[in-house]
Amino acid sequence: MKIAIYAFDGVPMFHLAVPQMVFEEVKRQGHKWSTELFSDGVKSLRTAEGYQLGGISGPEAAIGADVVVVPSWFDDNRTAGGDLQALLVEAHRSGATIMGLCLGALAVADTGLLDHRSAVTHWKSVNDLAGRRPAVHIDASVLYIDHGDVITSAGTASGIDACLHLVRKNLGAAATNAVSRALVVAPHREGGQAQYIERPLRPPQTDDPISRVIEWALNNLSEPLSIEQLASRAHMSRRTFIRDFQASTGTTPASWVRSRRLDESRRLLEETTLPIDQVASASGFTSTVTMRQNFATAFATTPTDYRRRFEALLPSE
């Protein structure tokens, strides 16, 4: 997997480092992934923090890339230059996945690749994106959006989520977990989680009832896990539990349980030879049909095709 990352004068160091950090760790885990920084032609540039970067490749680095990343954008939110727009469009036409992380979504939107599709960027710049590209459907509430060929993410750390999502999409849960453990970050946050929450998240605490319920639920996914059951374990009323759970996780109990069941079903499909009906039961779905329906809605494929894909992919990596 060849990944070309666009760098520009004044790029924030953190944003530039995010895709390199994630994808280079994939390489260190033994997969054939590589990253290369490229710019509009300059061989060196200065980051927003004042660091001088040298050895930057030219636009030719994007030729033949599997993924082209715009990791951030200029502070003035300027329109992307014609050369960069043409490069992104040509890379997309050649089959590359285009990623616009944080404000990088603005540059990707300028190409027209997101017209009549949903996109996300940092919440402070959604009005700018709406004004410059009215044909883009903006969802300001989520962490990232993947259309298969184009991925956009929200502010700062959401870029890590989007990059880990790409790893999982290509290499599966086991590889993503190995990368996230090495980086000491969460292996998977749903793209649909809120990009910001008005009330602060709870710090993880062993005496926190929500944390205890989450830990118990993760170890008991084959249980029904109704809201009433979870609230009872937390010794809370149903209403209080839903409110506190959403404040802690950014999502509802039902959505969280469904996502964890889907995570477990993917893991079992990737790592075991259990029949589909046993995967459904072990993941907590009430029937194979229910799992298939949820799986198709979430991943646009069937459990059988998903397993077949990873059986073909993983041994060759």
Topology of 255-316 in CATH? Arc Repressor Mutant, subunit A (1.10.10)
Radius of gyration for the chain, computed over Cα atoms and rounded to the nearest angstrom: 21
User: Is pLDDT above 80 for 217?
Assistant: yes
Six token digits for residue 143: 């962490």
Convert the pLDDT of each residue in 279-292 to its tens digit: 999 999 999 999 99
Convert the pLDDT of each residue in 74-132 to its tens digit: 999 999 999 999 999 999 999 999 999 999 999 999 999 999 999 999 988 988 898 99
Q: What are phi and psi of 97, to 5 degrees?
A: -80, 130
- The label of the residue with tokens 């198709």 reads 296
Alpha helices in 158-275 (DSSP H): 158-171, 173-183, 209-218, 227-233, 238-249, 253-271
pTM: 0.69
pLDDT band (50, 70, 90) for residue 62 = very high
Q: Where are the domains of the chain?
A: 2-183, 209-250, 255-316
Convert the pLDDT of each residue in 139-175 to its tens digit: 877 889 999 999 999 987 889 999 999 998 899 888 8
CATH of 2-183, one of 3.40.50.880, 1.20.1730.10, 3.40.50.150, 3.10.129.10: 3.40.50.880
Tell me what the mean pLDDT of segment 256-265 comes to.
91
CA 215 to chain centre: 23
**Percent of the chain residues past pLDDT 70, beyond the cut:** 91
d(CA 269, CA 275): 9
- In 3D space, the residue among 41, 71, 67, 68 whose CA is nearest the CA of residue 56 turns out to be 41
Domains 209-250 and 255-316 share a fold: yes
Architecture of domain 209-250 in CATH? Orthogonal Bundle (1.10)
d(CA 193, CA 120): 12
Q: What are phi and psi of 170, to 5 degrees?
A: -95, -30
pLDDT at residue 207, rounded to an integer = 63
d(CA 134, CA 128): 10
Question: Coil, strand or helix: which one is 142?
Answer: strand
d(CA 211, CA 217): 10
pLDDT at residue 309, rounded to an integer = 76
